[in-house]
Every structure is written in C-alpha cells, then in structure tokens.
Amino acid sequence: MGARQQFELKLKNGLNEAIDNNQLRLAFQPIVSSKSTEIVAFEALLRWNFDGENIPPDEFIGIAEQYGLINRIGAWVLKESCLAAVSWLDLKENMAVCINVSVIQLQDSDFLGILDDAIHASGIQPSLVSLEITESVFASDTELMLEKIRVIQGKGIKVSIDDFGTGYSSLSAMQDLAVDTVKIDRSFIHKLEDSGYAIVTAVIHAASQLGFDTVAEGVETEAQWKKLSDLGVHKLQGYFFSKPMEADEVRRFIKMQTK
Ligand code: C2E
Ligand code: CA
Ligand code: CA
C-alpha cells in the first residue's frame, strides 16, 4: 500500500469516529452587504481536530465522500449549523446561515428528511437557511437533482451555487437552476485586476437579469471590495472582512458591529 493510500485510510478510520469523539466543530465566516458592510449571514465551515492536528476540509471532505461518510457528517453539519444560527437571533434578527452540502448528500434518498429534522429540531425559520451546492450537481441525474432543489426551495429554504464559474456547466447551471444566489468563485476575484474583471462583470450581468443575488468570495483587499461594490455585487465574503471564526467568537463579532 502506498503512503498516500495509507494516509487516506488513517483519515477514513478517524473520520468514522470523529462525531462520536467530538472532534468536529464548525467555524463561521461572515458574509456582508457590499454597500453597508453590515453582516447578513455566516457560512458554516467544518473543522476536524484529529490527533491534535487540524485537518483542512479540502483534505477530508473528499475522503468522507469517497468512503460513504459524508451523509452522516453532513447531517451533523446541518443540525449544528441551524442550532448555531438560532442562538444568534437574539443579537440580530434575520441573520442567515449558509451551509455547504455535497452533491452526494443531495443524491441520498434520506436527504430531505435529514434537512427537515435539522430545521425542526432547531426551530429556525427556513428562509434563514441557505444551502450551498456546486455546479457538479449536473454531473448526473440532472432532472432528479433539479426536482430536489425545487422541493427544497418549496420549503422556503434558499439555494446557492457555490464556486460559480469553476465547473464545466456554469451557464447552464445558471439557466436551469432557479437558485437564489450565485457565489462567484474566489479565483476570479483574485484576478479582478486583469482577466477576472470581464468574467465577474458578465456573471453579475447574467445574474441580475435572472434575478439572482450575487456574492463574491475571497475578498482580501479594500480595492477589491470597492470595485465589486461599484460593479453591483450584493454581498461579499473574505479575509478582508473576517477570516472564519470559532463559534464562541461569533456573538462578540455581531455585538461589535451592532453596537
Ligand atoms: P468553500 O465552500 O468555497 O468555502 C470557502 C473557503 O474559502 C473556506 O475554506 C474559507 O476559509 C476560504 N476563504 C474565505 N475567505 C477567503 C479569502 O479571502 N481568501 C482565501 N484565500 N480563502 C478564503 P475552508 O474552510 O478551508 O473550506 C474549504 C472547502 O471545504 C469549502 O470551500 C467547502 O467546499 C468545503 N467544506 C467546508 N465545510 C464543509 C461542509 O460542512 N460540508 C461540505 N460538503 N463541504 C465543506
Ligand atoms: Ca461554500
Ligand atoms: Ca466557494
């Protein structure tokens, strides 16, 4: 067995017990209105502390998907994210929560029930929940996926296309999916000074024609913020406003801004 395979196996075994061993937690990154910089939502980002080490989600989500662990982990994420969001409402009404959902979760026949459980157990208003899915929903079963997304929206829950522009079918995703929000991938924001500009402008234009909200990801500088705001992007997310923070910092962060 190669070193990479051995490492994956170690992560897989660890992940299998991560929930029971209380090794998973959520970090939260604010999403702000581009005009006022008022916080309008937090994106929940999964964190795993394994053997005293923080393993980045880009490393373990793929393994969780590959070994059939993502449904259980994703159910935990949904439930914890909704509970967290409810706990902030006394500080600021209408604060939304954005939750990453992998395509494999969406394909699972239990997904809608799991989603309902998370909503009901927390008592959150469905319109404050936004599910972030990537364009790869179109890789298989397009009709089934579209139907599921419509059912989710029928519950009042919002749906966003994440990492927009990086997939193979971005424009058809925009056309076929009557999503609520398009999150423009950070690779375009980082190239805003050159080739990214034309892409971002085109995405904003198409999104506004279709009536979608736009979020720019990975905003790291004031110049990017100003430019994106001038271009008419509705919301912004990135290190310039805040890095993802631990759950117990969220309340302090909201209080600081609403003071
Ligand atoms: P994503 O959904 O695109 O999440 C945004 C990622 O960009 C986060 O990385 C965040 O920390 C990072 N980021 C935010 N602002 C900036 C910035 O200004 N500059 C740069 N360079 N990066 C920024 P993170 O937390 O490491 O998550 C990586 C990916 O892992 C996420 O990308 C998402 O695809 C996946 N992920 C995280 N949590 C979950 C989860 O609960 N479920 C699923 N299925 N996937 C998750
Ligand atoms: Ca996301
Ligand atoms: Ca993204």
pLDDT confidence of residue 26: 98
Residue 183 CA, ligand 3 centroid: distance in Å: 7
pLDDT confidence of residue 142: 82
Residue spans of the chain under pLDDT 50 = none
pLDDT confidence of residue 139: 77
pLDDT confidence of residue 55: 96
Please tell me if the CB atom of residue 244 comes closer than 6 angstroms to any atom of ligand 1: yes
pLDDT confidence of residue 195: 87
Residue 190 CA, ligand 3 centroid: distance in Å: 13
Please tell me if the CB atom of residue 185 comes closer than 6 angstroms to any atom of ligand 1: no
Single out the residue of 201, 220, 187, 170 nearest to residue 29, CA to CA. Answer: 220
pLDDT confidence of residue 249: 97
pLDDT tens-digit series, residues 68-116: 999 999 999 999 999 999 999 999 999 999 999 999 999 999 999 999 9
Is 0.85 topped by the overall pTM?
A: yes
pLDDT confidence of residue 33: 97
What is the spatial distance between Cα 42 and Cα 148, in angstroms, rounded to a whole number?
24
Residue nearest to atom 20 of ligand 1 (CA): 218
Task: Using CB atoms within 10 Å of the CB of residue 198, give its burial: 0 to 12 exposed, 13 to 18 middle, 19+ buried.
Answer: exposed
pLDDT confidence of residue 113: 98
pLDDT confidence of residue 127: 98
What is the position in ligand 1's atom list of the atom closest to the CA of 244?
Answer: 11
